[in-house]
Structure 1
Amino acid sequence: MTTLLEVRGLRKYFPIRKGLLRRVVGQVRAVDGVSFTIRKGETLALVGESGCGKTTVSRCILRALAPSAGAINFSIGGRTVDLAALKRRQLRPLRRHMQMVFQDPYSSLNPRMVVGDIIGEPLLINGMTDRAERRKRVAELMELVQLPAAYLNRFPHAFSGGQRQRIGIARALALNPELIVADEPVSALDVSVQAQILNLMLDLQDRLQLTYLFVAHDLSVVKHVSDRVAVMYVGRIVELAETEALYNRPLHPYTEALLSAAPTPVPGVASNRIVLEREIADPANPPPGCAFHPRCRHAQDRCRQQTPELEEVEPGRWVSCLRARELSLQGIADPA
């Protein structure tokens, strides 16, 4: 499969300022050397605890935030461009190829605009000035996300949360993008509505050959929609693998603990929960060595001194752990 997006050594640091003169006294390492690829037509899920940096990664890819370092290679029209190196004016013609579906379907829609104008705004900005042509395209998009075209003149407050998210998806599809970044697109919805939106996104992916970067923390949702999963901890990817392989046999101790925390679907059957001690590491002052070692039950002395790199321990499987190969042979977890 063709690689659509390649992220290499992505970093995003936020300065810590103190005092009357607001001098920089430190850095919050929100994203600290993240690397991965997304193939055309696949869904890569980015998961982890709140504050691990997954949303910051997605915003850097879309250049809503300027990266501190690294490369974001995006393949479009037979050429590859480094989004991280482009200036605002150079980015503008490329933005139509990358769109975002936001987490909150309430605050992401302008309450003073009718649905037809919300969905048609990207078309107007990108040169479709003919009102009739634009309205026809908006009606097609409404039908695509299974909303009646008769709703075009309604305001967002007249819709439910699930319908609002469909409007957000229609807006993201308006310019026929190659890449859609979905930042926890169903976390604000009821469970029954979540299933409808997820099935809609999967159906649209098949019909339009879309590529998704799916940011989430709900592991059951991720298992349903993703082809591969990247697990983040304190700004770094600790494990990257095919979805089925990762869920059946996690190799990083953090992935193991994360999966054990997911509730079991069988009533009355308790899961083998691994309770992590201590708090998550501070990205402004991470511990030496492996950032996970204070909470890891497999930690050794070298884990407190050496920082592990993301390495391929099995074909298509990348793990950032000094004991990755050893634990791979032992089989550290049995999620069942």
Structure 2
Amino acid sequence: MKKSFLYSCIIALFLISCKKEIEKINDTLKDTSSSTSETPAVKQDSIKKDSVVMKESVPPTMQETGFYNAFILPKDKKMRDSIYSEFSKKYSERERYAILALNRLDSKNKWNADTLVVPAKIDTTLMSYSPFPMQMDVLSGVKKFVIFSYPIQAYGVYSNGSLVKWGPTSMGKKAAQTTRGLTFANWKKKLSTSTVSSEWKLPYNFNIFNTGGIGWHQYDLPGYPASHSCLRLLMKDAQWLYGYADTWVLNPGGATTKAKGTAVMVFGDYKWGARKPWKKLLDDPNSNNISVEQMSKLIEPNIEKILKEQANREKVVDSMKMAKAQIEQMPENPKTLAP
């Protein structure tokens, strides 16, 4: 009897403790589910706040100022990608090419700017934005003339005084500046290897300072003077100039020059550390323009030499053509009379 009573008490105590344990577990589960359901709400609020902050930190992509507008590029890469995606949708491939060219950039270096200067009206030929005069009377007798401006990192091409092409360039950096003055086109090669590094391949290289190894060719345009004295160009421009300019004519043996090539001039000084000149277009559309008077002052002291070398070249080329024609007219197997 005592034993059965004792067993009953033990069982009752066991059931009571189990019930309490179950209640504790249920309470714990409730607390856990409650905290779990509250956590996402906190995260969502946080996400909302963050997204608002990010949205507010994105600058306006386009600041309209008139003839030229500013396309702002933020520092954050993801934001840049997003904005450049918008840029790509807004402008065609040819328009993007022109915009980058105005900013002295190629597509590889499109992120090298915090602001892109964008014309309100896009002219893919770039001629509407030329900093060079459209007509130079002093060059009216010069068939071909190429000029490079250090201050604005641009080149211009004149045929009989009329501007036929212009574009961006990246000339010698501060420590290795491009030689200034009048020179003439020498030799050319479709793919040269740099004398500075054998790893640097230079498409459509056209030498203009033979002893210095300086020439124009295609290479990166990062938006500032960056070369080792050469004059970097966009690929299309390098190809065009490769076919346009005339090479020198050498005497037999190749040691001396019989006739010089196309006249080329490099002038001016770049303002190192100052605001990039093309960005000044946002304030003044004419800020990069070179006047007829400025150009005339550069060319007039050299025009006599340019015309003299041009005349000599024409004479040499004509004599070469005549000699070639005479050779072609000769019979392949001329008959000789018997003695």
Q: What is the TM-score normalised by the length of structure 1?
A: 0.21
Higher relative CO (Cα under 8 Å, sequence separation at least 6) belongs to: 1
Q: Which has the higher helix share?
A: 2
Q: Which of the two has higher C-alpha Rg?
A: 2
Between structures 1 and 2, the one with greater strand share: 1
